[in-house]
A and B are shown apart, each in its own frame.
Chain A
Amino acid sequence: MTYWTEKVFGHVRAIVRGRVPEAFINRCVRDDVRIKDIRRIDQTSMAFTLALADVKRIRPILRATDCRIRFLDRRGFPFLMMRLTSRAGIVVGCVAGLFALFLLSNMVWNIEIDGADPKLEQQIRTSLKKMNVHVGSIEFFLPPLATIEGKLAGELDEATWVGVSKDGTTYHIEVVQKELPEDKESLEPRDLVAAKEARIKKMFVEKGVAKVETDTVVSPGDLLVSGAIGKDGNPTFVAAKGEVIGETWYRSTTTVPLKMTYQTFTGKTYTKHRLSVFGFDVPIWGWKARPFAHAKQETVEKPFHFLFWDLPISYKKVIVRATDVTHRQLNEAEAVKVGRENARKELLSQLPKGAKITFESVERRTVENGAVCLNLFFTVEENIAKPRPFIPEQRRQSLQKKQKEKPVP
């Protein structure tokens, strides 16, 4: 009968030797010293078990009954601790070994990159290194996968898609590379036609024959530069190339509320560190429950691993960003200015590169429901040329037909 209390507080086995050991037992019972598992050894001695806490109280009893004691065995937690401290080296070694194993289980061991050519692979590895993701880095300090993915996608122009996944201690990075077409000269015969209704401003023709003059108004599909050059009777066909700058017109409507409430980040952040154990959050650092009056928070969670197991413990980082609620009150003139700016940006985002707004005017301005409504008119200069291939044989026939018709009248 060993109770848990004995295990925790320790107990000793001892032999009492004296002329009448029974007297010792009776005296122990009287003085409320708990002894147990008493066994007679011979005429003058008995073995018994005693709680460690009672060892000191046994001295006067021994003296009174004229007995001597010899300790045999020490058991229980206090003695275990004593033995462990005397073998501190082994204990420290075991703990350090486990810690090393734990650390190594949470380390990046391999980064596999699929679908990238050597050049892009090198590029990926350097940008990963910038984010501290390399072989041997500890996982808790790495950004979450989505962030890595986003950053890689932003940095790599040559990739259409980047996928980052993690399998144990290995990061897999999958890349779909853009098939960049070689910028070859199009050898197919083609014309340039108008993409939209416009008035021609300037023409820069590299190849082909200009068919329109400046200041003429063209509608979509009108021939601008012909790919047929040379005599009408026997033309040669080329791929027309050039830029036709036309003046185009746009109308747009924007609404700007006069009163606006919006949130801005003040830039102040408060970071809380949590250890999540079996779903319960144990705060480690960052104790304030509500550090800011208005705030938004984001949570990053990192599970701990040990060898191939996911431990039910994870590290959680909660970043609280302070926000400010701002009210903006505009007068009408300001609202118009904002509305024009917005409309301009929106229009330019839809137009090809190199387009520029040459003229803009407010056609109508109304105020209703606390918002300014603007109807705007823009004049834009942009390249309106659009290639249109043709079949040389058909073109030749149609040209010949035209020529035949010509001299008749």
Chain B
Amino acid sequence: MARKWRNKLQEWFVAHTDLPADVIMDLPRVTMIGRLHIYIENHKGVLTFTKEELRLSMKNGQILIKGRDFVLKTILPEEILLEGTIRSVEFIDE
């Protein structure tokens, strides 16, 4: 019950102030540069990583990135920089 209330409050905050949603709701922020780079903040760990696929754990669910020639350039506790040719970014609900 309390959790639902908190979510409601956060959504209201995002809707009625100019504060970015990722800061308030702890959502992933995904930045792409063409299809060469993808930069993901607020991830919760690597689930699988191959040349064609990167699956990251999120707060609710997963994010699945598909493409070719993937290289994890940098990986830090909260952010990831992936290089390669990106074909799709997909959100998977749990």
The B-contacting residues of A in range 21-77, CB under 8 angstroms, are 21-22, 25-26, 28-30, 32, 34-40, 46
- B76 interface hit (Cβ, 8 Å): yes
Bound together, the chains give a CA A26 to CA B76 distance in angstroms of 9
The A-contacting residues of B in range 66-82, CB under 8 angstroms, are 70-77
**Could you say which residues of chain B place their CB within 8 Å of the CB of A32?**
77
- A289 interface hit (Cβ, 8 Å): no
Max chain B Cβ within 10 angstroms of own Cβ: one of A21, A32, A38: A38
- B32 interface hit (Cβ, 8 Å): no
The total of chain B residues at the interface (CB under 8 A) is 15
- A1 interface hit (Cβ, 8 Å): yes
- B47 interface hit (Cβ, 8 Å): yes
| A1 contact from B48, B74, B77, Cβ within 8 A | B74
Contact with B along A81-125 (1 / 0, CB 8 A): 000000000000000000000000000000000000000000000
Question: What residue of chain B has the Cβ atom nearest to residue A24's Cβ?
Answer: B46
Question: What residue of chain B has the Cβ atom nearest to residue A47's Cβ?
Answer: B71
- B51 interface hit (Cβ, 8 Å): yes
The A-contacting residues of B in range 40-56, CB under 8 angstroms, are 45-51
Chain B binding surface SS class = strand
Bound together, the chains give a CA A28 to CA B71 distance in angstroms of 17
Bound together, the chains give a CA A176 to CA B50 distance in angstroms of 89
Bound together, the chains give a CA A136 to CA B46 distance in angstroms of 72
Bound together, the chains give a CA A22 to CA B70 distance in angstroms of 14
**Could you say which residues of chain B place their CB within 8 Å of the CB of A1?**
73-74
Contact with B along A211-248 (1 / 0, CB 8 A): 00000000000000000000000000000000000000
Bound together, the chains give a CA A26 to CA B77 distance in angstroms of 9
Q: Smallest CB–CB gap between B19 and chain A, Å?
A: 28
The B-contacting residues of A in range 374-396, CB under 8 angstroms, are none
Contact with B along A181-192 (1 / 0, CB 8 A): 000000000000
Residues A37 and B71 in contact, CB atoms below 8 Å apart = yes
**Could you say which residues of chain B place their CB within 8 Å of the CB of A37?**
71-73
| B49 contact from A25, A34, A36, Cβ within 8 A | A25
Question: What residue of chain B has the Cβ atom nearest to residue A49's Cβ?
Answer: B73
21 contacts between A and B (CB under 8 A): A1-B74, A22-B46, A22-B47, A22-B48, A26-B45, A26-B46, A28-B75, A29-B46, A29-B76, A30-B77, A36-B72, A36-B73, A36-B74, A36-B75, A37-B72, A37-B73, A38-B71, A38-B72, A39-B70, A40-B50, A46-B49
Enumerate chain A interface residues (CB-CB to B < 8 A). 1, 21-22, 25-26, 28-30, 32, 34-40, 46
Report, nearest first, the 5 A-B pairs whose CB atoms are least far apart.
Answer: A38-B72, A40-B50, A26-B45, A22-B46, A40-B51
